[in-house]
Amino acid sequence: MFARIYQPAPNAMQSGRGNSRHWVLEFARTKSGSVDPLTGTYRSEDMRAQLDLKFETLEAAVAYAKANNIPHRVQKPKTVRRISRSYTENFDYDRKLPWTH
């Protein structure tokens, strides 16, 4: 079973960075699931695909994977360059980027 270690991206609907500092070890699906004919929900017998293990550091996640002989791949997070602006800059007369209501 292959695992992916990554740092989740912050929620796009919020400006905060909560729950984005930890690292997640996520197992890949090995068995295909099926749709329950009675309820229409997806079901699977693969228990590991439901697990998401959270770690404080990347080193702790890699050490856990190596200690349990889990083949893994580390996915580095992309850096986001934010432009800090104030609300009043939206109404500047000499604004460089077009902006309308």
17-49 per-position pLDDT tens digit? 776 789 999 988 776 778 888 888 877 777 777
Calpha distance 28→96 (Å, rounded)? 45
The pLDDT value recorded for residue 100 is 63
pLDDT averaged over the chain? 83
Residue appearing with tokens 């432009």: 83
Across 86-91, average pLDDT: 79
Q: What is the pTM of this model?
A: 0.67
Checking if the pLDDT of 62 tops 80, the result is: yes
All domains in the chain, ordered by first residue: 3-91 (3.30.160)
Q: What length does the chain have?
A: 101
CB 45 within 8 A of CB 32: no
Calpha distance 72→26 (Å, rounded)? 9
